[in-house]
């Protein structure tokens, strides 16, 4: 049973959810930006993990910040070092200020392009304002975008 001070963050992509410590990037694996989970995706759709407002889309379209209706700041970073692509391979489906629901498509990504150019396709899902969170529990294994719980939390 979900209490009022608890909540869920859903998978952004269909694929395999892994621990942040297993992400081959020290910024994410050391949890410098916050805590969360990463998904190694198998499809090109990136979906909103929460109900909330799109606060920022990075100029390179590879990262999105969503402020959940519960006040959590969620960073979705598609691939590792993909900022170097300068937006190639990423098609935003939302704009800053949009209100999104769990499962709404926020971006389409060309995973074949990322793989062909030898970028890791890991997608970290990070809670960046961890000071609001008492407990964050990752859920590992196979995920379905917008349907599988990736993280549960207590405020």
CB 79 within 8 A of CB 62: yes
Q: How many CB atoms lie within 10 A of CB 79?
A: 26
Q: Is 97 left (phi over 0), alpha (psi -120 to 50) or beta?
A: left
Q: Which of 83, 58, 79, 54 is CA-nearest to residue 67?
A: 54
| 8 Å CB contact between 49 and 10 | yes
- Can you tell me whether residue 20 is helix, strand or coil? helix
Class of CATH domain 6-24+33-154: mainly beta
Judge whether 122 counts as a catalytic residue.
Answer: no
Q: Which of 77, 99, 122, 139 is catalytic?
A: 77
pTM: 0.95
pLDDT (0 to 100) of residue 1: 40
pLDDT of residue 10: 98
| Rounded CA separation 149/44 (Å) | 19
- Cβ atoms of 98 and 118 within 8 Å: the answer is no
Q: What is the pLDDT of residue 5?
A: 81
Q: How far is CA 30 from the centre of its chain?
A: 17
What six digits make up the tokens of 29?
A: 């694996």
Q: How much is the pLDDT for 2?
A: 41
pLDDT tens series, the chain, 155 aa: 444 688 999 999 999 999 999 999 999 999 999 999 999 999 999 999 999 999 999 999 999 999 999 999 999 999 999 999 999 999 999 999 999 999 999 999 999 999 999 999 999 999 999 999 999 999 999 999 999 999 999 99
């Amino acid at each position: 049973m979900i209490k009022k001070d608890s909540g869920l963050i859903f998978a952004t992509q269909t694929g395999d959810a892994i621990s942040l410590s297993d992400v081959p990037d020290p910024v994410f694996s050391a949890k410098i930006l916050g805590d969360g989970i990463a998904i190694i995706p198998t499809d090109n759709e990136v979906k909103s993990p929460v109900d909330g407002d799109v606060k920022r889309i990075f100029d390179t379209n590879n990262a999105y910040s969503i402020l959940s209706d519960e006040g959590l700041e969620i960073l979705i970073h598609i691939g590792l070092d993909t900022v170097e692509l300068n937006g190639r391979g990423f098609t935003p489906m939302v704009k800053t200020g949009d209100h999104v629901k769990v499962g709404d498509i926020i971006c389409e990504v060309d995973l074949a392009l990322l793989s062909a150019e030898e970028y890791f396709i890991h997608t970290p899902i990070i809670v960046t304002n961890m000071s609001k969170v008492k407990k964050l529990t990752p859920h590992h294994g196979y995920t379905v975008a917008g349907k599988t719980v990736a993280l549960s939390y207590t405020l």
